[in-house]
Amino acid sequence: MKTIAVYNIKGGVGKTTTSINIACLMAKMGFSVLIWDLDPQGGTSYFFNCEGANNQRYKRLFENDISIYEVIQTCDTHHIDIISNDAFFGDDVLSKGSLLSRLNFANNATIQAALEKVEDDYDVCIIDCPPGKFSLHNNVFTAAHLLLIPNIPAPLSLYCFKVLQADLKLFQQQGKNILSFYNMVQIRKNLHRRYLEAQADSITKLNNYIPFYSDIENISFSKQSIFHQLKEAKSIQFYEDLWDEVCDKCNWPMFKTNKGRVVGFPAFTNSLAASAE
């Protein structure tokens, strides 16, 4: 099982939509996906209709009072299971836990130890990380094979990215894959175009980007990823190209889209979206 952490120190850069659409892309290719919503806000859990299902349970999980299988729910989307958010969980919770849980947390082993129990059950685990920089993030980075960082092509977003550089270099030295890409790109904006044309001054930068398209923005309303809508979303090609570049950089040929491998299945319906039509 490969573990991908979708992360940025800054909020509002599209971590949740990135996590959802990449998870759904892989699921539609037939891979078994576990998505872990570590953000207390629970955007990913809301999308999969599982928000709040694990409230007050993360501490019990990391104390080994309950199994990781007890916090995993099956989604309506084929091939995807989810560990939904715990709205009350944070660094402070584990700092008051048992000696073992505090040692694991201090050694950045908390997330890795939990995921090792299911590594034979899934092809990939995608972690939707909360913004900020806390001890929890170090635990996530230790468990991850890839740290995927969406950035908006704008000064504030890229400033926040540069703040992370020292930490990123440390994890690169540990053999981790760290890749960033431009997200929510609006080509009509001169500023966005300038950043795209100049590329980034970082070796972690991917060439492909994700545009600011309405079909991506609307998935939070329809609760259908771009890969499960009844019509062909124009943003699909952007995600497929981005993902194939990720696979090339990480040497993951088994995960490339290979269009012939994509299996089709009907989009699941959503009552809210249906009532609005």
CATH code of 174's domain: 3.40.50.300
119 token code pair: 């590594």
On whether residue 259 sits in a domain, the answer given is: no
Q: Which of 139, 157, 117 is CA-nearest to residue 12?
A: 157
On whether residue 68 sits in a domain, the answer given is: yes
- Residue 95's pLDDT is what? 65
On whether residue 236 sits in a domain, the answer given is: yes
- Residue 231's pLDDT is what? 64
What number of CA atoms fall less than 13 Å from residue 153's CA on the CB side?
A: 29
- Residue 203's pLDDT is what? 57
On whether residue 195 sits in a domain, the answer given is: yes
On whether residue 32 sits in a domain, the answer given is: yes
CB–CB of 273/221 below 8 Å?
yes
On whether residue 266 sits in a domain, the answer given is: no
Domain that holds residue 197: 2-253
Instruction: Please tell me whether residue 157 adopts helix, strand or coil conformation.
Output: helix
Could you give phi then psi for residue 69, rounded to 5 degrees?
-65, -20
- Residue 170's pLDDT is what? 80
Q: Which residues in the chain come in under a pLDDT of 70?
A: 91, 93-101, 103, 199-204, 229-231, 259-277
CB–CB of 46/128 below 8 Å?
no
In angstroms, the CA 237 to CA 233 distance is: 9
On whether residue 262 sits in a domain, the answer given is: no
On whether residue 186 sits in a domain, the answer given is: yes
pTM (predicted TM-score): 0.86
Counted domains in the chain: 1
